[in-house]
Structure 1
Amino acid sequence: MAASLPQGWTLCASAFNWAPDIIAAHRPAPEIVTAIVEEGVADTVELEPGLLWRSFPEPDGGEVDRFRSGLAAAGGRVSTVGVSLDDFSSPTRARPPQERLDFLVPQLRAAARVGASGVRLPIGQAGPDLLRRLLPLLHELDLVLYEEIQGQQAPSTPATAAALETVASIGDPRLRILVDISMLMPALPVSYLDELSRGGIPADLVARLATEWQSPETQDAVASFLRSGNVPPQVHTLYMNLLIRFGRSHARDLQDVLPLVGAFHLKFWDLEDDGGRISRPIRDLGRLLGSEGFTGTLTSEWGGHEWLRDDPTAMTRQHLALASRSLAS
């Protein structure tokens, strides 16, 4: 599948794509994740330990070892582990600095134990002090910590720019950026627009979202409708994707931060590629990375199971094939 890609580019599949199957619990989570490799979808997998290990956030060594052995027996390996930082120990008590570190350490050790090359946190959550305190352990465990930008977290937005500057100023290769290409959406997913229509969003707003997604005026209209209080309750959470998870950046906007980037999420929502709404951002990204000498992982991550009930194995297999063609072109 990835034979025609440049050396050092690794296509992966995220276990997050199988979240509905894991939550349904008809099979044990480790079995579902190992099947990603056994069924030939991908041989490199990104893990979500909160979905995988019952002992999370302090993964039990035996549980981790059994999963690693099963995955290796199937011919698979782990790329990145999505760790979690719970900043509050109760609704009213924020964790002090040492507790924040202590919360992450067992997760990092489990990531190294399972054979991962990196761990992932949302950009800016750790903060400069914790990042610096984590560096010795990252070196000890031979891990890279990726801070993830996605959706509307464009490099030019103040909070994102400040967090990127923190990573750059620390200047350690154990700290890198992961870019989720939900930032690069020329148009919204067809299935998502259909879901908004069924949920009662006015037809004129849906039509505008379908044809003028990248217009700043459309974003103003989205916020105005939210403030009106008229978003139907049944689609309120889904509607918030327009303000958070769906971006309007372009691949060229990543040019200046590429020296810090070591991984990508090839986020997709459905497989409707009319007008290149899925493939065009991937092709643009491929051209940019090809000229920059990028090496790292590019992981298929399906966000559409929030509203779709399609088979994750079929969806991921098809998306990886589309992504491979788009990158190679």
Structure 2
Amino acid sequence: MSASAFNWTPEVIRAERPAADIAVGIAADGVASTIEVEAGQVWRSFPEPSDAEVDAFRERLAAAGGAVSIVGASLDDWASPTRRRTEEERLAFLVPQLRAAARAGARGVRVPFGQPGPELLRLAQPVLDELGVVLYEEIQGQQTLDVPAVAANLEQLVQLDDPRIRVLIDISMLMPALPPSYLEELRRGGVDEELVRRLETEWRAPETHRAVIETLREGRVPPAVHTLFMNLLVRFGRSDIAELEPLLPLTSGVHLKFWDLDDTDGRVSRPIGDIGAALRRTGFAGTLTSEWGGHEWLDADPATTTRSHLDLARRALAAASVAAR
């Protein structure tokens, strides 16, 4: 069980103390002993983290009783606004981050699902093997396996069958209902009440999805909540665990994504139990990371919130384990 330093993003933005100090504090304060970090947040020398900066961070984290699980990497596909990087240039952009992750003692680095593509994966394989790190492709939110590009990428991963290239599932794909705190923000922002009520009671219905798109196309989203509204089309998923079955044999990491801690009808705990039970059948031995996305609209203490979520997650996983016996 890990905690993501992403949960502390509001503190990073306020910049009252360095991002590396905030990340080390997660372990020092006893929130979690293993943490997932974002390379672009903790290392000022990013995208080519210096050995000295990486070493200093690793040593400070170890002194606090902590270690890095996964490093969130970046793959910038464009050398300029008009020129896309070649595959060799894309690899050259990624390799310093792979080396930094290995130096930090991480299991590997995380990139968006499908972004590397087959040629970059082929070029990266010997580097991953040399460094002993894993490249995780993260699938999340509204991504589904019935989309041709997603299905094709999964097939490529199956064909590669390389233990150094694996999937990370974000359980934002498995949302049975929307977070109440989010719906309240939409209401306060002036989104049509009829649509909010539909989102509240019929989140997974295809008709609700069509209503969201129509509202956007017709310009009926108040400007103040436009960015927040886009979560409905990107970050919030409506899949069932059975639909993720083809991913499970390749999965070595999970983001236990949550938005708030309102667990009415198991809206937070049920997806955790579902993914835990499913992965139990595959012999999963990877990382389970608490990742909080609700700081986008909630002003809450990240340490307290993450501790509470980790406690909830442990209970949900334990219950799923008992049920499976």
Which TM-score applies when normalising by structure 1?
0.95
1:165-180 alignment, distance < 5 Å: 165-180=155-170
Residue matched to 2:254:
264
CA distance in 2, matches of 1:274, 1:260: 31
Find the partner of 2:196 among 185, 188, 206: 206
CA distance in 2, matches of 1:95, 1:289: 37
Is 2:279 the counterpart of 1:304?
no
SS across alignment from 1:65: helix
Residue matched to 1:55:
45
Is 2:279 the counterpart of 1:279?
no
The number of residues matched between the two structures is 319
CA distance in 1, matches of 2:234, 2:261: 21
SS across alignment from 1:292: coil
Unaligned stretches of 5+ in structure 1? 1-10
1:234-249 alignment, distance < 5 Å: 234-249=224-239
SS across alignment from 2:281: helix
Is 2:147 the counterpart of 1:140?
no
Find the partner of 1:190 among 156, 164, 180: 180
Instruction: Kindly state the Cα deviation for residue 125 of structure 1 after the two structures are TM-superposed.
Output: 0.7
Query: Per-residue displacement from partner, 1:27-70 (whole Å, max 9, x unpaired)?
Result: 11111101101111100100101111111001111111000000
Instruction: Kindly state the Cα deviation for residue 290 of structure 1 after the two structures are TM-superposed.
Output: 2.0
Residue matched to 2:322:
none
Q: Which runs of 4+ in 1 moved over 2 A?
A: none
Indicate the larger mover: 279-288 or 217-226: 279-288
Structure scoring higher RCO (CA < 8 A, sep ≥ 6) equals 1
CA distance in 2, matches of 1:218, 1:238: 17
SS across alignment from 1:293: coil
CA distance in 1, matches of 2:13, 2:236: 25
> Which letter does structure 2 place at the counterpart of 1:121?
V
Instruction: Kindly state the Cα deviation for residue 152 of structure 1 after the two structures are TM-superposed.
Output: 0.8
CA distance in 2, matches of 1:225, 1:85: 33
Instruction: Kindly state the Cα deviation for residue 96 of structure 1 after the two structures are TM-superposed.
Output: 1.4
Query: Per-residue displacement from partner, 1:116-141 (whole Å, max 9, x unpaired)?
Result: 01111101111100011000000000
Query: Per-residue displacement from partner, 1:52-95 (whole Å, max 9, x unpaired)?
Result: 11110011111110000000111111111011011112211111
Residue matched to 2:323:
none
Query: Per-residue displacement from partner, 1:209-257 (whole Å, max 9, x unpaired)?
Result: 0000011111011111111011111111111110111000011212222
Residue matched to 1:293:
283
1:22-61 alignment, distance < 5 Å: 22-61=12-51
> Which letter does structure 1 place at the counterpart of 2:255?
H
1:94-105 alignment, distance < 5 Å: 94-105=84-95
CA distance in 1, matches of 2:143, 2:149: 8
Instruction: Kindly state the Cα deviation for residue 110 of structure 1 after the two structures are TM-superposed.
Output: 0.5
Unaligned stretches of 5+ in structure 2? 320-325
- Could you tell me the percent identity over the aligned residues? 63
Residue matched to 1:220:
210
